[in-house]
Chains A and B, each alone.
Chain A
Amino acid sequence: MGKMNIGHAEKIWLLLIGLTVAGAWFAETGHPGWPLTLIVAGLIAFKGRMVVDHYMEMSRANARIRHVLYTFITIVPLLVIFSHGWGDLFRRLTTLN
């Protein structure tokens, strides 16, 4: 948005499109487990950061707003990793007895 170099918005858009297609292809052809979990977590964080920084221009906006968005796109991928690697612990923590 805004003062981007010519073609910058297009590059970001192509990168996001490419990563989306590549991620889906990997999921369809790959195997479940850690590789897929780490790739998904990485893609959520990276694509989220691309949208937040380049589409929403957060890299040069109010710090408080930026930190809220960065926190969101950091915690969600961490939860993806945590729920895969420590599912039992997560289940125990969320069981009402």
Chain B
Amino acid sequence: MDTMTTPLTEPIYAQPSASVDDHNRVPGNSGIWVGIFCVLVEFFLLFIVYFVAKAHHPEAFQTGPDKLVTLAGVTITLLLLTSGYCMVKAVESIRKDAATRAFRWVILAFILGCGYPLVKYFEIQWNMAHGVDTKAGIFYTVYYYLTLNHLVHVFWGLLGLGWVAVRTHRGIYTSKDYSGLEAAAVYWHTTDVIWLAIFPFFYILR
């Protein structure tokens, strides 16, 4: 079933999951993709802000990463990629009607995802102790603006993972209908894709 052509009067959560062999399928549901497109546009505009600031203050962006903890950025990347892998396994499991296994993968994805705000907390503590605050310069202003904005979207993703964990535990998802679980997964992967750009912007590029 092509969920993009489904009448708006039909609740998106009531739609059965399309076959994975359907090359026109919409992973998750059409509602989540509206949200994902909005997030992509939002971050694309924020990236433009980054590039404009960088063009006008090249020195600040060349030396800025030196004061940031690269290990924190690497750790967040590894946590997100591994958490995303767990969601891949969760969807794979539910397609085999292995709900208990899917639940465990979602929980693992959630726990790893919670590592992100935890690392961010310690990173910001370290930053503050070393005078790296929002007034430390244009590079750090853009760094806080973009990374904290991303953190907010990660919180939405974590709420989604928590929600689908409960529903998976209750046996609501089956191999015939797991669109809610898949919707949470694709949103979670989107935060991953965006972070894959943010990470080198502030921790790698000189």
Q: Which residues of A contact B (CB under 8 A)?
A: 1-4, 9-10, 12-13, 16-17, 20-21, 23-24, 27-28, 32, 36-37, 40, 43-44, 47-48, 51-52, 54-58, 60-65, 68-69, 72-73, 75-76, 79-80, 83, 87-88, 90-91, 94-95
Contacts and interface: CB of A to CB of B under 8 A. Distances in A.
Given A20-B78, A24-B70, A40-B204, A51 B192 contact: yes
A10 B182 CA distance: 19
Given A68-B40, A72-B40, A20 B77 contact: yes
A80 B205 contact: yes
B204 A27 contact: yes
Contact of B51 (A57, A64, A90): A90
6 contacts: A4-B92, A24-B70, A27-B204, A36-B206, A55-B84, A64-B4
Nearest to A21: B74
Given A1-B185, A24-B74, A72-B44, A87 B55 contact: yes
B137 interface: no
B197 A48 contact: yes
B85 A9 contact: yes
Contacts of A75: 44
- Is the contact region of chain B dominated by helix, strand, or loop, or is it mixed? helix
B44 to A, nearest CB: 7
- Is the contact region of chain A dominated by helix, strand, or loop, or is it mixed? helix
Given A44-B200, A48-B193, A55-B84, A61 B206 contact: no
B56 interface: yes
A27 B56 CA distance: 23
A91 B205 contact: no
Given A68-B40, A76-B197, 17 more contacts: A1-B88, A20-B77, A21-B74, A27-B205, A32-B206, A36-B206, A40-B200, A55-B84, A55-B88, A55-B189, A58-B27, A60-B23, A62-B2, A65-B26, A65-B33, A75-B44, A80-B200
A47 B190 CA distance: 12
A64 to B, nearest CB: 8
Nearest to B63: A32
B200 A23 contact: yes
A27 B81 contact: no
A7 B51 CA distance: 39
A68 B38 CA distance: 11
A2 B20 contact: yes
A23 B204 CA distance: 8
